[in-house]
Amino acid sequence: MKTVIAKESTYDISPEHLKTGSIFGALSNISIQYLLDQGVLHKVNKGDEIFSYGSKGNSFHAVLHGKLDFYKQHGEKKIRTRTISFGEAIGFVSMIALHERVGSLSALEDSLLLEISCQLFSDFHDQYPFDFGILLMNLSRDMARTIRVLSNALVENDVTIKRN
C-alpha cells in the first residue's frame, strides 16, 4: 500500500466522476474535493492487505477505483462476505461503533482508496454540514443494502441466529 497525492493519480478522481458512485452521489463538487484534499489516498496492489482483523477502526475507506474483498472473522472462522467496488465504502461501521475491525480487507485488484479518518469525518461535518448529512444518508443506505444481502444469505442457508 502506497500513499499518493491526487495529482499523481492515473485514474479519474474528479468530483464529477466520483459522484457516479453511491457514497459520493449528490455531494457538492467542493465537498468531494475537500475530502480528496484532506483525506489520504492509497494506491494498493492486488493482494495487499488494507486492514486486519482486530486492528483499530478509526477510519473508513472509499473505493475510488478497483475492487476489495472483505473477510469477516468470528473466533477461528473466517469467510469472504462481500466485494467492495467503485463508489462504495468499507470500515464505516467499526469507526462509528468505536470498535476494532471484525475482519480483514484485501485488494482483489489494483485499486485506489480514499481513507477518511474520524477527525476528517468530524471536520467534514463542521465545514460542510449539508453535504455531511447527504454522506451519512449514502453510507447508511449502503449499510442497509449490505445487511439485506447478508440476511438473505442467512435465509438461503437456513441459518438460525442465536441470541446470547
User: For residue 164, is pLDDT > 70?
Assistant: no
- 54-102 pLDDT, tens digit each: 999 999 999 999 999 999 999 999 999 999 999 999 999 999 999 999 9
User: For residue 11, is pLDDT > 70?
Assistant: yes
Look at the pTM and tell me if it is higher than 0.95.
Answer: no
Residue 10 within a domain: yes
Which sign does the torsion angle of CA 13, 94, 50, 109 carry? negative
Residue 86 within a domain: yes
- 113-155 pLDDT, tens digit each: 999 999 999 999 999 999 999 999 999 999 999 889 888 888 8
Residue 44 within a domain: yes
Q: Domain range for residue 67?
A: 2-118+126-152
